[in-house]
Amino acid sequence: MKHQNKWKMLGNRFGLDYLIVGVKIHKNELPSEWKGETISYCEAIKKVAEGTVDRIVLKEFECHSPDVVLGFVESRSVQLDDILEVGTKCVEIFAMKNDRDPDVLIFLVNAEQAMKIISTIGRGKPLNFKVSASLALCREATAIPILTHKPNISFLCGGARMYARFDKNVFALGIPKEISDIFFKIEIDLTPAEKYVLHILTDKGRMMSAKEISYDAGLPDRTVRNSLRSLHKKELIEKIIDIHDARTIMYRLKES
């Protein structure tokens, strides 16, 4: 089990169609054998997410925007907010594996997948995003999460959709590495049944009764009740009386 790629397992848990991508901003000189490619940033993200390549190093881009946003050069024209400090030597983009340490994670998602991820991160608490549909993957999904230490959403931009040919239903979530531990922390010391019950509540994103959970999970009622009791004791879920039937207890993820 310890040799399995936890990021691939996480992708399966959320039903992702793409691999989870890690991005590392390098400010120091790198080994000479690190030969950089020259393609657009959005194309590089998509190639890695599709599994076409495992890793891409970029020292320059086909479009000028990432040069400025990711800190390679200063802007020669307009003043931009939420861009990285100048001094970047290269950007390393890779498929996430256990031993890789990115600055930001990029998830290419549809609406349902985004709901599951945001539900896990926010735990019922509203999240605020900075979106402009401009400088999308480089700024909204990379620079902003790094600078704010908070997740951000990007509906991509015209350039990303034209050059990288993203599907019209795909957009991106940028999540700083330092908060990604929440994906795994909640599963420490949980039994397989408890993990499954927790995943169902995460996937559904709503209150559910023990009977509903038992039906969806295909688990015996007693197993589900014991799991819910344990999850509640560990303060991972909360109980709410059904306003329509006081005899029924509903369960949902505990709000932060």
The CATH number of whichever domain residue 216 belongs to comes to: 1.10.10.10
Domain count, the chain: 2
Q: 108 with 234, same domain?
A: no
The pLDDT of residue 249 is 92
Share of the chain above pLDDT 90, in %: 51
In angstroms, the Cα distances linking 92 to 95, 102, 158, 217 are 10, 9, 24, 40
Three-state DSSP string of 1-63: CCCCCHHHHHHHHHCCCCCCEEEEEECCCCCCCCCCEECCHHHHHHHHHHCCCCEEEEEECCC
Q: Any idea which of 4-8, 39-43, 47-51, 159-163 has the lowest mean pLDDT?
A: 4-8
Q: 159 with 240, same domain?
A: no
Q: Provide the residue range defining the domain that includes 248.
A: 186-253
The pLDDT of residue 143 is 96
The pLDDT of residue 79 is 73
pLDDT digits (tens, 9 = 90+) for 71-84: 998 877 767 789 99
What is residue 121's three-state secondary structure?
Answer: helix
Cα 9 from Cα 6, distance rounded (Å): 5
Q: 120 with 233, same domain?
A: no
Q: Is residue 1 part of a domain?
A: no
Q: 46 with 164, same domain?
A: yes
Q: What is the pTM of this model?
A: 0.75
Q: 130 with 218, same domain?
A: no
Q: 10 with 80, same domain?
A: yes
Beta strand 21-26 with 104-109 is: antiparallel
Domain boundary among the residues 182, 215, 237 is at: 182
Of 5-19, 22-36, 166-180, which one has max mean pLDDT?
A: 166-180
Q: Any idea which of 134-143, 175-184, 217-226 has the lowest mean pLDDT?
A: 175-184
Of the two residues 166 and 133, the one the predictor is more confident about is 166
pLDDT digits (tens, 9 = 90+) for 134-154: 889 999 999 999 999 999 999
Q: 107 with 14, same domain?
A: yes
Mean pLDDT (the chain) is 87
Q: 46 with 157, same domain?
A: yes
The pLDDT of residue 114 is 93
Mean pLDDT of 40-56: 95
Domain boundary among the residues 182, 197, 212 is at: 182
The pLDDT of residue 255 is 64
For 68, left (φ over 0), alpha (ψ -120 to 50), or beta?
alpha
On the question of pLDDT at 1 being above 50, the answer is no
Please check whether residue 151 is in contact with residue 145, taking contact to mean a CB–CB distance below 8 angstroms.
yes
Q: 246 with 205, same domain?
A: yes
Domain boundary among the residues 182, 204, 234 is at: 182
The pLDDT of residue 4 is 61
**pLDDT band at residue 2 under the 50/70/90 scheme:** very low
